[in-house]
């Protein structure tokens, strides 16, 4: 079945450091890909998305490119801030499956001043 | 519209008791989803509705779990004869049909603790 694998956390960075959180997926079809973020004490929020190969999703300085050849959707940010500390989830959704999301296990990011 | 609302935020119950959670989606959203999230894991799909029809149920949803969405508005998730393994965060989300590309709106969840 479909699955999503993320790099294990926690990831600890200093402010202004470069961030990469790896995400790879297995899918039988041609899914849409998402990154969700969960800030402490809050619900899941959509961070960015991509729906076809080579699409780049971006939001709040974060970017991820849909790489079909490597089945990857790595999250990057050039300069992290303390306020980026959160848990990040990679997810996929196959077409014709009613919008059901399959999530990775999440990667906790902690940014120190 | 204030987004997806879930009640209660927290529920502590004794093993063997029944519990019911409520989700109020964004009013114009046709689809409503339930997920379960345990500590350190990503959310796992349980079930979803399109309007009042329940279109898919996960194998995770045992016979003790039942979900309804009367009149295609709010939804309830009931767990009968709770077990300690049911302790988790239960998340509700909603979306309009045909806007998968934009993702869902999630509620803040109901945290269930079975003691």
* B102: pLDDT strictly greater than 70: no
B48 touches chain A (CB under 8 A): yes
Give the E-state strand segments of A7-113 in sequence order. Answer: 11-14, 19-21, 23-26, 32-38, 44-50, 56-59, 62-65, 75-77, 86-93, 102-103, 107-112
How high is the pLDDT of residue B40? 87
pLDDT of A79-110, one tens digit each? 999 999 999 999 999 887 778 899 999 999 99
CA distances A113 to A14, A107, B107, Å, are: 6, 20, 30
Q: How far is A79 from chain B (nearest CA, A)?
A: 26
State the sign of the Cα–Cα–Cα–Cα dihedral B35, A73, A81, A85. positive
Q: How confident is the model at residue B62 (pLDDT cuts 50, 70, 90)?
A: confident
Q: What is the total residue count of chain B? A: 115
B60 touches chain A (CB under 8 A): no
How high is the pLDDT of residue A23? 98
Q: Which residue of B has its CA nearest to A94?
A: B100
Q: How confident is the model at residue A43 (pLDDT cuts 50, 70, 90)?
A: confident
Cβ contact, residue pair B102, A49, below 8 Å = yes
Chain A residues in contact with chain B using a Cβ-Cβ cutoff of 8 Å: 4, 32, 34, 36, 42-46, 49, 51, 89, 91, 93, 95, 97-106
pLDDT of B5-33, one tens digit each? 999 999 999 999 999 999 999 988 899 99
Among candidates B40, B45, B91 on the partner chain, residue whose Cβ is nearest the Cβ of A100: B45
Residue A82's SS3 state is helix
Q: Which residue of B has its CA nearest to A36?
A: B103
How high is the pLDDT of residue A97? 77
How far apart are alpha carbons A50 and A61 in whole angstroms? 15
Cβ contact, residue pair B48, A44, below 8 Å = no
Among candidates B48, B56, B103 on the partner chain, residue whose Cβ is nearest the Cβ of A34: B103
């Amino acid at each position: 079945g479909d699955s999503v694998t993320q790099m294990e956390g926690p990831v600890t960075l200093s402010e202004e450091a470069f961030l990469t959180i790896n995400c790879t997926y297995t899918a039988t079809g041609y899914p849409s890909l998402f990154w969700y973020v969960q800030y402490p004490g809050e619900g899941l929020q959509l961070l960015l998305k991509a729906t076809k190969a080579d699409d780049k999703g971006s939001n709040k300085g974060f970017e991820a490119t849909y790489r079909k050849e490597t089945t990857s959707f790595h999250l990057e940010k050039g300069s992290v801030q303390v306020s980026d500390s959160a848990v990040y989830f990679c997810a996929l959704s196959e077409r014709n499956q009613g919008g059901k999301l399959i999530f990775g296990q999440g990667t906790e990011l902690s940014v120190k001043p | 519209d204030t987004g997806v609302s879930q009640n209660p935020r927290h529920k502590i119950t004794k093993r063997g008791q029944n519990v019911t959670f409520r989700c109020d989606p964004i009013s114009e959203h046709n689809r409503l989803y339930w997920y379960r999230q345990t500590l350190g894991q990503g959310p796992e799909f349980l079930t979803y509705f399109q309007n009042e029809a329940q279109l898919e149920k996960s194998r995770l949803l045992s016979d003790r779990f039942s979900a309804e969405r009367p009149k295609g508005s709010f939804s309830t998730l009931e767990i009968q004869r709770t077990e300690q393994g049911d302790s988790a965060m239960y998340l509700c989300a909603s979306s309009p049909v045909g806007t998968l590309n934009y993702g869902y709106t999630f509620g803040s969840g109901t945290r269930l603790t079975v003691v």
